[in-house]
Amino acid sequence: MDANLLNDEIELACEALREGRVIAYPTESVFGLGCNPLALAPVLDVFALKNRNPEQGFLLIASTFDQVAPYIDFNKIAPSRVESICAQWPGPTTWIFPASSNVPAWLVGRHAGIGLRVTAHPVAAEICRVFGRPIVSTSANPHGAAPATSVKGVREYFGDRLGAIVNGELGGFARPTPILDALTGKVVRN
């Protein structure tokens, strides 16, 4: 894809995020749906698009650790654990951290922690960089359906209900990225 066209798509996606709309974008393994995590209305839109139970919460992706740091309760995790995790980022692993007290309930659902990933996917990371903060990241599919792996698949699922769709190649992972507990290192999803 032409770099200028991709940059234009990213700018349009970030404009949609600022306007409180949901976007779709490529990730390490599938297309994702994203929105501004601090705005309730678009988060509710993602739950509705996916027909997903709000108690599940969402994970966030970011372009840098500084973007996700405000979401972490550093009083509940050893600095050495944080350093170890940061040494693995950017990368494809999501870590569930203790959530800081200012994390909205709609992001964590029934959980005490929040899933965070500093992504190495160039398009997803650039969206977060241009937007200036993390975004919600969940697979682009209705609950129970296979995740979309192409723009065509995203359009088949959601038609014109999204604010923007960013083209791009997937990151080459055949399965959704792993999720680990930041406190224990135990695998939550492999």
Question: Residues 78-94: pLDDT tens digits?
Answer: 999 999 999 999 999 99
**Residue 31 pLDDT > 80, yes or no?**
yes
Ramachandran angles phi, psi of 52, nearest 5°: -105, 145
| Residues 71 and 135: beta-carbon distance below 8 Å | no
CA distance 96 to 52: 20
CATH number for the domain spanning 45: value is 3.90.870.10
CA distance 89 to 72: 16
**Residue 66 pLDDT > 60, yes or no?**
yes
Mean pLDDT on 104-111: 93
| Prediction pTM value | 0.94
pLDDT tier, 11 (very low <50, low <70, confident <90, very high otherwise) = very high
Indicate the number of domains in the chain. Answer: 1
The per-residue DSSP string of the chain comes to --HHHHHHHHHHHHHHHHTT--EEEE-SSSEEEE--TT-HHHHHHHHHHHT--GGG--EEEESSHHHHGGGB-GGGS-HHHHHHHHTT-SSS-EEEEEBPTTS-HHHHTT-SEEEEEE---HHHHHHHHHHTS-EEEEESS-TTSPPP-SHHHHHHHHTT-SSEE------S-SSPPPEEETTT--EEE-
Relative to beta strand 135-139, strand 31-34 is antiparallel
Please tell me the predicted confidence (pLDDT) of residue 101. Answer: 94
R_g of the chain, CA atoms, integer Å: 15
Give the range of the structural domain holding residue 180, as residue numbers without chain letter.
3-189
Question: Residues 156-176: pLDDT tens digits?
Answer: 999 999 999 999 999 887 777
